[in-house]
Copies of this chain bind each other. A is one copy, B any other.
Amino acid sequence: MAPRTRASKTGQALSGRPLRADAQRNRARILAAAEATLADKGPSASTEEIAHRAEVAVGTIFRHFPTKEALVEAVFVAGLRQLAEQARRLCTAPEPGAAFITFLTEAITRSTAKHAFARQMGGDNTAVMSRGPVAEAAQDLRRAMTALLDRAQRAKEIRGDIDITAVVALLVGASRAAEHTDGDERLRETVLAVVVDGLRPRDADRWAREDPSPQDQ
């Protein structure tokens, strides 16, 4: 079995040489198509269908990604990277609480793909999460989110008793909930509001923050 010269398990080119321009474009098309297809057909979407949507042949997909799993991973990693990017951007925003909420909102709103991934990974997602580039991207995102969360908690805008792990779980869940609203904008907002409110500090803290004078009369 000759050493594979095409693509590594993670969909990165093995050679240092950059991809030809058209190959680059194809890679992007494939990722986009995969994201879209997985989002609306679920993890059982066939490679053939993804190829169809990307307007390339199946073979092309397998040139870029050695296995279907690698493709799905790549989609997931791309999503995680975007989120990490966003988190870092918001880390320098003036209002820590608002920044955190904004992050959640955006993450929830366009998180379909991650979800598809989670679904794809089915029962043994832990396996995937702990290895390779997914783990790295997840680590990175976690770090960025931790920073955001810390700032918000220090500003007393978010309850102090939750940690990053809980936030991640909530994010995943909220995304799922949002997905379940199936397009109803108002409904999504309500769901988000509940989660956000739940993350706010208890009353005592808020009095302290929002208005120095007690409003209990």
Q: Name A161's closest neighbour in chain B (CB-CB).
A: B190
On chain B, the residues within 8 Å of A45 by CB distance are 123
On chain B, the residues within 8 Å of A165 by CB distance are 181, 184, 187
Q: Which of B44, B126, B170, B173 contacts A122 (CB 8 A)?
A: B44
Decide if A182 is an interface residue (CB 8 Å cutoff): yes
Q: Which of B49, B119, B194 contacts A162 (CB 8 A)?
A: B194
The quantity of this chain's copies bound in the complex is: 4
Known interface pairs A3-B49, A122-B44, A123-B41. Does A169 touch B198 (Cβ–Cβ under 8 Å)? no
Decide if A52 is an interface residue (CB 8 Å cutoff): yes
Give 26 CB contacts A-B under 8 Å.
A3-B49, A3-B53, A5-B48, A42-B122, A45-B123, A162-B190, A165-B181, A165-B187, A166-B190, A169-B177, A169-B180, A169-B187, A169-B191, A170-B194, A173-B175, A173-B176, A173-B178, A173-B191, A175-B176, A194-B199, A195-B195, A197-B197, A197-B202, A198-B199, A203-B203, A203-B206
